[in-house]
Amino acid sequence: MSLGSAYPAHEALVAPGRSKPQLWRLLLGLGMIAALSYALNLVLFLTLLRFTSLDWLIALEQGSTPLALLILLASFGFLTLGVGLAAALMQHRSLLSLIGAPGLMLRQFMGCGMAGLAVFATLLILPPYDFGAPLTANLSWPVWLGLLPLSLLALLVQVSAEELIFRGYLQQGLAARFQNPMVWLGVPAALFGAAHYMPQVAGDNALLICLWAMGFGLLMADLTARAGTLGPAIAVHFVNNIVALLVLGSPSSLHGLALYLLPYEMSDVAEMRPWLMVDCATMLVLWLAARLVIRR
């Protein structure tokens, strides 16, 4: 059995783009997404600059306060607007067609989301019971709970935008042009990993985090191709980021909405690398749990 034959459900997502499969259309569309997002973020930046200080805008880039991170996450909606425009103009397809059948997508999203939460809940009750040092309190419980609805909404905007670009527009566009799954699975995953290369924050761990993100992107691409919607990938990505950004944030960046901070920086080689291996194992368990959900 060929690799491509393992993904019959993927055709429901790819078919709307087969009438306009040219690679130049895909590349031009990606340029449109980048240009629109840059332009809207520039407008946002200049608007905020009129009412805030430059120091606050630095905090915005780092996501180091609740309001800053909420705005930063919500700004990913500009990417979603860009994807919708590019898909309409370049492939003559709707944004909804990139997501998949709404009813099926929602069922898969809910099922995979619940499975992911169950995985993390299980991890919380299993040893080890600490991270080698005490966690640092970041937000008080009342503040964290009060912000939680907005935090979840902003986080959903962020992960949905990333999935629409990498497992939606890019993966489906490549699949409409190339039959080999290694192309349309591998290229978006590689680019997703490259987008998470942050040597200024992660130091010597930057390459390993990039490789982790590539692996995550590949597993999300597999889920999307098996499910025929973006529901499972969005759900797994959402649950993963809830833990990483809202529960146990990194003191290095993007911790404005976190309840607790981890006791080490992303650049800490001795402390971070063993936990990266744990993250890899957790990622595989999340993927397997989602696979079980979509097989039902």
161-205 per-position pLDDT tens digit: 999 999 999 999 999 999 999 999 999 999 999 999 999 888 989
Per-residue H/E/C for 151-215: HHHHHHHHHHHHHHHHHHHHHHHHHHHCCCHHHHHHHHHHHHHHHCCCHHHHHHHHHHHHHHHHH
C-alpha distances out from residue 215 to 193, 272, 280, Å:
8, 18, 8
pLDDT band at 72 (very low <50, low <70, confident <90, very high): very high
**Whether 115 contacts 290, CB under 8 Å:** yes
261 phi/psi in degrees, rounded to 5: -115, 140
pLDDT band at 3 (very low <50, low <70, confident <90, very high): low
pLDDT at position 190: 97
C-alpha distances out from residue 88 to 95, 98, 101, Å:
8, 11, 18
Q: What is the mean pLDDT of residues 230-254?
A: 95
Q: Which amino acid is at 138?
A: N
Averaged confidence pLDDT in the chain: 93
Q: How many residues does the chain have?
A: 296
Residues pairing with 249 in the sheet: 261
pLDDT at position 1: 45
Burial class (CB in 10 A: 0-12, 13-18, 19+), 187: middle
Exposure on the CB side of residue 53, measured as CA atoms within 13 A: 3
pLDDT in tens, 9-53: 999 999 999 999 999 999 999 999 999 999 999 999 999 988 888
Say yes or no to pLDDT of 132 above 80. Answer: no
- What contacts 235, CB < 8 A, 6 or more positions away? 108, 109, 110, 111, 112, 113, 116, 290
Say yes or no to pLDDT of 4 above 60. Answer: no
Say yes or no to pLDDT of 98 above 60. Answer: yes
Q: What is the mean pLDDT of residues 223-228?
A: 97
Q: Which amino acid is at 201?
A: V
